[in-house]
Amino acid sequence: MIKQRLDDYRAPIEKVLQNCLQEEGVPEELLESMNYSLQAGGKRIRPVLCLVWAELLGQKKENVLHFCSSLELIHTYSLIHDDLPAMDNDDLRRGKASNHIRFGEALAILAGDGLLTRAFSMMLQSNLAPEAVLQAAGQISRAAGPAGMVGGQVLDMTLSGNKKMELEKLKEMHSRKTGAMIKSSCLAGAILARGGQEDQLRAEEYGAALGLAFQVADDILDITGDEARLGKPVGSDQARDKLTYPALLGLDESRRLGLEMVARAKQAIETYSGIQADFLRDLAGYIMDRVE
Amino acid sequence: MIKQRLDDYRAPIEKVLQNCLQEEGVPEELLESMNYSLQAGGKRIRPVLCLVWAELLGQKKENVLHFCSSLELIHTYSLIHDDLPAMDNDDLRRGKASNHIRFGEALAILAGDGLLTRAFSMMLQSNLAPEAVLQAAGQISRAAGPAGMVGGQVLDMTLSGNKKMELEKLKEMHSRKTGAMIKSSCLAGAILARGGQEDQLRAEEYGAALGLAFQVADDILDITGDEARLGKPVGSDQARDKLTYPALLGLDESRRLGLEMVARAKQAIETYSGIQADFLRDLAGYIMDRVE
């Protein structure tokens, strides 16, 4: 049920993603490398969140579809660069050879650079009130930047294997590495719909709680999940001595934290009703349902 | 004389560059790595061009200074990524250890990612008419993206060592790899000053000719220049079998092409007068004067 609704929201986004890199003058091998990773599947959760928040607050889908879709380009670039030998050195991504295994390191670095830059040109081409586009794209650029996602990856590298790290630092790292972009995807949708301060605050609260719940659930699934569904070997976090919530808190306490975040996400949007609000509630619940 | 005026335009830009990466929440080692390359010197030609074009068309310096300065972050990111072992594998940049030699590959990749993203958050924070900021930042994102600078780097990798490459393909590669951003720096300045179609066209023509002249001059200096001034070994292009204008055309014909581009740049701005126009003319002339 939730999966079907997720697919429905995702369908028009997939359509945009299929063609959005086709610009005049892009070298063929670069286009192939970018598309290889962009078309590798994934939940498209950032574009979906942006779209649903925009619709929830009264914006039309067709007005925000390109902006929302561009968020997946940023996510994809971050995965390509994270997989590089100098970083996480991952050969597999979503069950397929990672970008640098397939195309070589140079093209993988450039495909990441290209996706990140193209994401901004997509955002800035939006046919909406210029102030709203500026504010939303500015928000995304900060969430993706040195104080957000890029900084989070640096923290992740520095902290990896440090078993004594406190929970607060782990949360801080994730709030930057994955949380900032998920939170900002919701916020950008609210901004593009010209939601007020209250709406924007709720979008941030919902997104922040949802982002943490996702991370906790991913960490748990790395231990208890099955390989086919994950698209990568079970236990890979442990194998590389990666610091995770289960490693720090144990499985039970991690589950409790995940459920608490789901509750907090639902609470943030309790004043809203309608199909979008219901979807956002069910999506939050679904995250920890996968884990049971 | 031209050097002094270049310094005068550059001074306020240097000031912005010194502090623009200091955001709350940026991990210290990332900040250090980004600043290491951003503060390594350089002509700051892209910010200067953007600033001078904006002033030429009546915009105030303080209104565009942050936007202009952000262009140097994009240039710096491209140098860090180009120097990586998987790409040009350069140990030296401007006479100093390149970023990955000093900080390791992972942090170098992330410093580049951080600079590129931060550049957009700087652009989008501009205190100017939102439509103008959107148009100018959109222009820059396309020039830096897969059909511009990133694509040019891919072409450079694919074409390197191919002695049979025609002049047109070499020009095409450079027009993307370095030309697009130089052209767009001029154009962005014109847009931020709310220049008309005619002005924008002239900014593009001037920038395109200037960009090619720069490239030709750099190629010539790699053969005839002295090491201390270049900050890298003379003859390094030849050593790596890099395709250059002198390699394809010979030194004399390359000089002729450079001078032709200088003339074309001057012609594009012949209708303008005043100190900014004079500076743009002298700057164009200076490029090939260095080569004599």
Q: How far is A249 from chain B (nearest CA, A)?
A: 25
> Lowest mean pLDDT: which of A234-248, B104-118, B268-282?
A234-248
Report the percentage of chain A scoring pLDDT > 90.
80
pTM value is 0.95
Residues A53 and A203 sit within 8 Å (Cβ to Cβ)? yes
Average pLDDT over residues A139-150: 98
Residues 6+ apart with CB under 8 A from A200: A187, A190, A191
pLDDT surpassing 60 at residue B230:
no
Query: Which residue type occupies A73?
Result: L
Distances (CA, A) of A242 to A30, A37, A40, A156: 32, 24, 25, 9
Residues B66 and B20 sit within 8 Å (Cβ to Cβ)? yes
Question: B59 by DSSP, 3-state: which?
Answer: coil
Structure tokens at A153: 């990856």
- Alpha-carbon dihedral A209, A215, A219, A221, rounded to 10 degrees: 80
Residues B75 and B82 sit within 8 Å (Cβ to Cβ)? no
CATH number at residue A258: 1.10.600.10
Distance CA B254, CA A17 (A): 43
pLDDT surpassing 80 at residue A235:
no
Distance CA A274, CA A279 (A): 9
Domain count, chain B: 1
Closest CA to A194 of A66, A61, A57: A57
A231 compared with B39, residue with greater pLDDT: B39
Chain B residue with the nearest C-alpha to that of A125: B138
Stated as kind and residue range, the H or E segment containing B134 is helix B130-144
Q: How far is B23 from chain A (nearest CA, A)?
A: 7
Residues A206 and A174 sit within 8 Å (Cβ to Cβ)? no
pLDDT surpassing 70 at residue B108:
yes
Structure tokens at A268: 């943030």
Domain extent at residue B144: 2-289
pLDDT given at position A238: 67
User: Which DSSP string corresponds to B67-131?
Assistant: HHHHHHHHHHHHHHHHHSTTTT--SEETTEE-HHHHH-HHHHHHHHHHHHHHHHHHHHT--S-HH
Q: What is the pLDDT of residues A52-76, one digit of tens each?
A: 999 999 999 999 999 999 999 999 9
Average pLDDT over residues A160-182: 85
Distance CA A54, CA A166 (A): 36
How far from each other are the two terminal CA atoms of chain B, in whole angstroms?
Answer: 17
pLDDT surpassing 70 at residue A206:
yes
A1 band by pLDDT with thresholds 50, 70 and 90: confident
Structure tokens at A123: 């955002």
Average pLDDT over residues A185-206: 98
pLDDT given at position B164: 67
Record: contact A134-B138, CB cut-off 8 A:
no
Burial of residue B5 (number of CB atoms within 10 Å: 0-12, 13-18, 19+):
middle
Task: Kindly list the residues from chain B whose CB atom is less than 8 angstroms away from the CB atom of residue A158.
Answer: 27, 29
Q: How far is B203 from chain A (nearest CA, A)?
A: 21
Record: contact B130-A125, CB cut-off 8 A:
no
pLDDT given at position A11: 97
Would residue B78 be called left, alpha or beta, if left means φ above 0 and alpha means ψ between -120 and 50 degrees?
alpha
pLDDT given at position A222: 87
State chain B's mean pLDDT as an integer. Answer: 93
pLDDT given at position A127: 87
Closest CA to B210 of B164, B263, B152: B263
HEC-encoded secondary structure of chain A: CHHHHHHHHHHHHHHHHHHCCCCCCCCHHHHHHHHHHHCCCCCCHHHHHHHHHHHHCCCCHHHHHHHHHHHHHHHHHHHHHHHCCCCCCCCEECCEECHHHHHCHHHHHHHHHHHHHHHHHHHHCCCCCHHHHHHHHHHHHHHHCCCCHHHHHHHHHHHCCCCCCCHHHHHHHHHHHHHHHHHHHHHHHHHHCCCCHHHHHHHHHHHHHHHHHHHHHHHHHHHHCCHHHHCCCCCHHHHCCCCCHHHHHCHHHHHHHHHHHHHHHHHHCCCCCCHHHHHHHHHHHHHHHCCC
B145 compared with B228, residue with greater pLDDT: B145
pLDDT surpassing 60 at residue A230:
no
Which of B83, B121, B125, B171 to substitute to test the interface with A, most A CBs within 10 Å?
Answer: B121
Average pLDDT over residues B97-124: 98
Residues B113 and A141 sit within 8 Å (Cβ to Cβ)? no
pLDDT given at position B9: 97
Closest CA to A111 of A15, A37, A46, A44: A37
Query: Which residue type occupies B133?
Result: V
Record: contact B81-A27, CB cut-off 8 A:
no
Report the percentage of chain B scoring pLDDT > 70.
92
Residues forming beta bridges with residue A92, ordered by sequence position? A97
Chain A residue with the nearest C-alpha to that of B172: A25
Task: Kindly list the residues from chain A whose CB atom is less than 8 angstroms away from the CB atom of residue B130.
Answer: 130-131, 133-134
A35 band by pLDDT with thresholds 50, 70 and 90: very high
